[in-house]
Structure 1
Amino acid sequence: MGDGVFLPPVVLGWALVLFLPAGVLTAVLSTLLERSGPIRLRQWAEDAGGTLRRLYDAPVRFGVFRFLLSLLSRLIPILLVLAIGQLLQMWDRRFPFLWSFGFVALLVAFTEAGNRAILARDPERALDVLTRLYRAVLFVLAPLVTLLAPLVPQARPAGRDEDEEEATAEEIEAFIDVGTREGILEPEQGEMLWSIVDFRDTQVRSVMTPRIDMVCAPVESHLEALADRFVESGHSRIPLYEDSIDHVVGVLHIRDVLRSLRLPDPPPVRELVKPPLFIPETKVLGELLKELQARFQQVAIVVDEYGGTAGMVTVEDLIEEIVGEIMDEHEALAAGLEQLEDGVWRLEGRGHIELLDDLFRVEVENPEYETVAGLIFNSLGRVPVVGEVVDTLGLRFTVEAVADRRIQTVRVERAPESAEDAEETET
């Protein structure tokens, strides 16, 4: 044995036999735990059950277990450098520890490359396959986990202040983001969950039917006229007003109209309406939904700061904010989206600007408007006339119909310069 060698060759040999596979395995096990998101880890622990499930359900013990694995994955390479260096020194090799360090560095690099490949290919299956190995390592490290866990500061009790509630909302958003990114949630599921999270803070003004689009009728109308109004609109409920739309007296259901038409002596229309629920534009959707449920109502009338009617909102509008647009047969026919030819569309002025992204891959950042008409008004600074052309965002908007200072339909296509650039890119 050469000078400077402190362990007998047999011990060094056994150290290599143990440390080489242990170094690789602890690195793999630690990396999988550290780089797996909370959703994936929870799912794995539930599937594994037994001691691993109990470990995961005890956050402090689970944190200590992860720490010990991480510590071993860093400590074992150092021990390998020392063991291999002493063996080379015993064989009188030049620069023994330099060669030893180079070998271990290559081993660590290959292990890290393998870890990345596992994480990129199928980390869920890797966790499942290595479950028995995790159990074995936990069995070995359990005494240390039990010894160190009491030394870790405990989390605060369940009482929460406003800052913690805000942090909880951020955690929910993080879970959705991680779940979507890791493939645990489908993109559509992630979008729906995002909608649910945003739902409680969204204001009524962003989902309401604006005043100009409301289908209403005077409360003095005859039942036959109201029945015709229901047929024309395709709605099941209509607000009734007195004198002007700013004085809504109630909401009429088509069921009450049809029932009254069968009576020999029908009651006055005013007796058929239900008292309306008036809400401000700034009311958030989460509160509104609870209020509508408590009052067993389907419609709310939105008023502005001066008390005038700003619009109306229904339970269907609230549901659509979560699950997306819901159109019945009548609405589908009047959806206001018509393809004229390849790359050319006719849109309603009230169509949402997100349609432009869906049809032309055009993103409007931080807009001050929500509709195609709003985009045109913002670009021109005035009410357009029929036939007027607006080029913006790489698109050409041709106004086809205007009524009462309101843009009804617009022809949309790529602007000539934008179309040429697209063709050159494809070429």
Structure 2
Amino acid sequence: MAIAIITLIILILLNGFFAASELAFVNLNDNKVKRMADNGDKKAQKLYDLISRPSLFLSTIQIGITLAGFLSSAFAADFFADPMAQALYDLGVPMSLSALNSISVVVITVVLSYFTLVFGELVPKQLAMQKAEAIANIAVGPVSLLAKVSAPIVKFLSFSIKIIFKLFGADPNAENEEATEEDIRMLVDLGRERGTIHPVERVMIENIFEFNDTTASNILTHRTDMIGLSADSDLNTVLETVNKYQYTRFPVYENNIDNIIGVLHVKDLFMYMKKDNGSTFILKEAMRAPHFVQDSQTIDKLFAKMRQENTHLAIVLDEFGGTQGMITIEDVIEEIVGEITSESMEPNIYDEEITKLSPKQYRVIGTYRLRDLEHTLNVSFPTDEFDTVRGFLINELGHVPAKDDHAVVEFKHLTFEIEGMDENRIETVLITVNEQMDDNSKETSGQTT
């Protein structure tokens, strides 16, 4: 009896081994195994050879599971059914021996199914999901050996599978569907929830997905905020502008900002500062050729073009050929990694872009982008129509507010109060987050106080 029980336990554990192996192989990272194999890892080479032929290892493992299950059922019925029926009969159960034998088979099958389900399926598969690589490394040897021993049976099974697939018009050798953007986003969210992906990393990955959907017009510095140099500026004027704004590149225009004729790089000024005290300085000779891009160009293509042309600043043109603004390669990179603080500027200059005053109140500058505000406040804005908070508010009001108006705009559950104006431009805005409004409530309204 003891030998029979030990044999049954071995068969159940064998079933669990094959069940765990199957799930471990399926859950392996194929690319990681391939890299390890390419680097000379012998076990990884053996493992990749196996998992690269899914029909082989699946058929082999299924043979093992089927044999273990069949043998355990037959063995249990043969060794335990008759003794159990005889024991019940001797105890005086009022039934025939043949009937008790049938009942014993059913009881033994139920008990065996429980132990097989728990120890031969569920527990091994749970372990395989958590320790796929470790279990796969252990299983690759025995499964490979079984594949060689059962090669004729595996080939016959593979042939049968191909025939059935063809009957249904499917390709048994077809590759798995490629991971979609949505699949990757779900994995990123899962990683964030489990703590394996840092929130900053999640934001960067999300930004990469939006990279080819964002256009130059979404991230440019608007023409009204550009700091340019007139082509007839002397050296002293140029140096004053450079010292005041601390930029490394300045667009050079002739007559007006719509006629950009070049870009001045600050390092090109050094040779003129030592030469005749700057008396022979001519800005047109010091500047470099400008690079122009259309406002509709996506920033992934723009980034590739700027790298190819080795330029750090491009002038953005609208559909009529006028200057809409300018864009730097830093602006493009910031779309992935977030705001980059310049060493030459005080930190508070950047902090003023958006400041959290309290859990329900923010202060933003007028040129703050609506797309960034969407992420901060989790609110949808008409970003297809407007790029900045300034443009959005002017549209809601229907006019450019006067300096002392302190205009207020209500949008969904947000209150925008215009705090600062510079001539006709909105400089700073106070945003208050109110209680969520009813879906049927009026979403937007503008008023001045």
Segment of structure 1 superposing worse, 380-389 or 401-410: 380-389
**Mapped pair 1:348 → 2:362:** no
- Counterpart CA distance in 1 for 2:125 and 2:419 is 56
Over 3 Å counting, the alpha-carbon distance change for 1:273 and 1:154 in structure 2 is farther
- Counterpart CA distance in 1 for 2:39 and 2:17 is 22
Residue 419 of structure 2 corresponds to which residue in structure 1?
A: 400
- Secondary structure of 2:53's aligned partner: helix
How does 1:78-227 map onto structure 2 within 5 Å?
Answer: 79-91=71-83, 92=85, 93-111=101-119, 112-115=121-124, 117-118=126-127, 123-124=130-131, 127-128=133-134, 131-144=137-150, 148=155, 170=179, 178=187, 181=190, 188-189=200-201, 191-193=203-205, 195-196=207-208, 198-200=210-212, 202-227=214-239
**Mapped pair 1:332 → 2:356:** no
**Mapped pair 1:260 → 2:269:** no
Q: TM-score, length-normalised on structure 2?
A: 0.73
**Match of residue 271, structure 1, among 282, 285, 293:** 285
Segment of structure 1 superposing worse, 71-80 or 330-339: 71-80
What is the CA deviation profile of residues 247-270 of structure 1, one whole-angstrom value per residue up to 9, with x for unaligned ones? 100001122234323321423111
- Counterpart CA distance in 2 for 1:17 and 1:392 is 68
8 Å contact 1:61–1:145 — kept in the other structure? no
8 Å contact 2:213–2:298 — kept in the other structure? yes
- For 1:288, the aligned partner's letter is L
- Counterpart CA distance in 2 for 1:66 and 1:269 is 73
Residue 429 of structure 2 corresponds to which residue in structure 1?
A: 410
- Structure showing greater radius of gyration is 2
8 Å contact 1:55–1:61 — kept in the other structure? no
Q: TM-score, length-normalised on structure 1?
A: 0.76
Unaligned 5+ segments in structure 1 are: 1-8, 158-163, 420-427
What is the CA deviation profile of residues 194-217 of structure 1, one whole-angstrom value per residue up to 9, with x for unaligned ones? 544654564322332222222212
Unaligned 5+ segments in structure 2 are: 86-100, 163-170, 438-449
**Match of residue 65, structure 1, among 41, 44, 57:** 57
- Counterpart CA distance in 2 for 1:155 and 1:313 is 48
8 Å contact 1:390–1:396 — kept in the other structure? yes
CA apart distance, 1:20: 1.0
- Counterpart CA distance in 2 for 1:307 and 1:50 is 62
- Counterpart CA distance in 2 for 1:196 and 1:387 is 38
- Counterpart CA distance in 2 for 1:113 and 1:254 is 68
Over 3 Å counting, the alpha-carbon distance change for 1:414 and 1:365 in structure 2 is closer
CA apart distance, 1:320: 1.8
- Secondary structure of 1:241's aligned partner: strand
- Secondary structure of 1:95's aligned partner: helix
- Aligned residue pairs total 397
Q: State the identity %.
A: 22
8 Å contact 2:22–2:58 — kept in the other structure? yes
- Counterpart CA distance in 1 for 2:380 and 2:429 is 18
- Secondary structure of 1:310's aligned partner: strand
Segment of structure 1 superposing worse, 384-393 or 234-243: 384-393
